[in-house]
Amino acid sequence: MKKRDATTPRQAPLNLPAEEFRRVGHALVDRLAEFFISLPERPVTRGESPVTTRTHLGSAALPATGMAADELLAEATQLVCDQSLHNGHPRFWGYITSSAAPIGALGDLLAAAVNPNVGAWQLAPIASEIEGQTVRWIAEMIGYPTDCGGLMVSGGNAANFVGFLAARKAKADWDLRRAGLYGEPRRLALYASKETHTWLQKIADLAGIGTDAIRWVDTNRVQQMEPSHLEELIAGDRKAGHLPFLVVAGAGTVSTGAVDPLAEIAAIARQHEIWFHVDGAYGAPAAVLPEWAEAFRGLEQADSIALDPHKWLYSPLEAGCALVRDPQRLRDAFSFRPAYYEFEEAEAEAGANYYEYGPQNSRGFRALKVWLALRQVGRDGYVQMIRDDIALARRLHAAVEAHPELEAGTQHLSITTFRYVPPELRRSAGEANATLNELNRALVTRLQERGEVFVSNAVIDDRYLLRACIVNFRTTRRDIDALPDIVAREGRALHAQLRPRE
197, 363, 419, 467: residue in contact with ligand PLP (rule CB under 6 A): 197
CB 195 to ligand PLP: min, Å: 9
Q: How many residues bind ligand PLP (CB under 6 A)?
A: 14
88, 149, 155, 409: residue in contact with ligand PLP (rule CB under 6 A): 155
Distance CA 237, CA 242 (A): 5
Nearest 10 degrees: Cα torsion 405, 409, 415, 420: -30
CB 204 to ligand PLP: min, Å: 14
Question: Which pairs count as long-range contacts for 81-89, CB under 8 Å and 24+ apart, including other chains?
Answer: 81/31, 81/35, 82/46, 83/46, 83/48, 83/53, 83/56, 84/45, 85/44, 85/45, 85/454, 86/39, 86/42, 86/44, 86/45, 88/36, 88/39, 88/474, 89/39, 89/40, 89/42, 89/44, 89/454, 89/474
Does the protein bind ligand PLP through residue 156 (CB under 6 A)?
yes
Which residue's CB is nearer to ligand PLP, number 172 or number 313?
313
Does the protein bind ligand PLP through residue 308 (CB under 6 A)?
yes
Does the protein bind ligand PLP through residue 405 (CB under 6 A)?
no
Distance CA 111, CA 22 (A): 17
Which is it for strands 304-307 and 454-460: parallel, antiparallel or unpaired?
A: unpaired
Does the protein bind ligand PLP through residue 320 (CB under 6 A)?
yes
**77-96 positions binding ligand PLP, by CB under 6 A:** 96
CB 159 to ligand PLP: min, Å: 7
CB 280 to ligand PLP: min, Å: 7
CB 175 to ligand PLP: min, Å: 31
CB 108 to ligand PLP: min, Å: 17
Distance CA 72, CA 13 (A): 14
**241-300 positions binding ligand PLP, by CB under 6 A:** 253-254, 279, 281-282
Does the protein bind ligand PLP through residue 157 (CB under 6 A)?
yes
CA 460 to chain centre: 21
- Nearest residue to 260 (alpha-carbon basis) of 250, 248, 274, 275: 250
Does the protein bind ligand PLP through residue 307 (CB under 6 A)?
no
Q: Which amino acid is at 271?
A: Q
Does the protein bind ligand PLP through residue 422 (CB under 6 A)?
no
* Region of 14-22, 62-70, 150-158, 296-304 interacting with ligand PLP (CB under 6 A): 150-158
Rounded to 10 deg, the angle between the 327-334 and 156-171 helix axes is: 90
Which positions ≥6 away from 367 have C-beta within 8 Å? 118, 127, 130, 131, 134, 135, 152
Residue with the shortest CB distance to ligand PLP:
156
Which is it for strands 214-217 and 406-412: parallel, antiparallel or unpaired?
A: unpaired
Which residue's CB is nearer to ligand PLP, number 253 or number 417?
253
Q: Reading across the β-sheet that carries 243-250, which strands appear in turn?
A: 149-153, 320-324, 304-307, 275-279, 243-250, 188-193, 214-217
* Region of 4-12, 153-161, 261-269, 341-349 interacting with ligand PLP (CB under 6 A): 153-161
- Nearest residue to 42 (alpha-carbon basis) of 115, 109, 91: 91
Number of residues that this document lists for the chain: 502
Which residue's CB is nearer to ligand PLP, number 258 or number 439?
258
CB 467 to ligand PLP: min, Å: 12
Which residue's CB is nearer to ligand PLP, number 306 or number 494?
306
Contact 244, 189 (CB under 8 A): yes
Which residue's CB is nearer to ligand PLP, number 107 or number 163?
163
121, 191, 199, 355: residue in contact with ligand PLP (rule CB under 6 A): 199
Does the protein bind ligand PLP through residue 192 (CB under 6 A)?
no
Does the protein bind ligand PLP through residue 371 (CB under 6 A)?
no
Which residue's CB is nearer to ligand PLP, number 197 or number 363?
197
Distance CA 195, CA 185 (A): 30
CB 81 to ligand PLP: min, Å: 23
Judged by the rule CB under 6 A, the positions of this chain that interact with ligand PLP are 96, 155-157, 160, 197, 199, 253-254, 279, 281-282, 308, 320
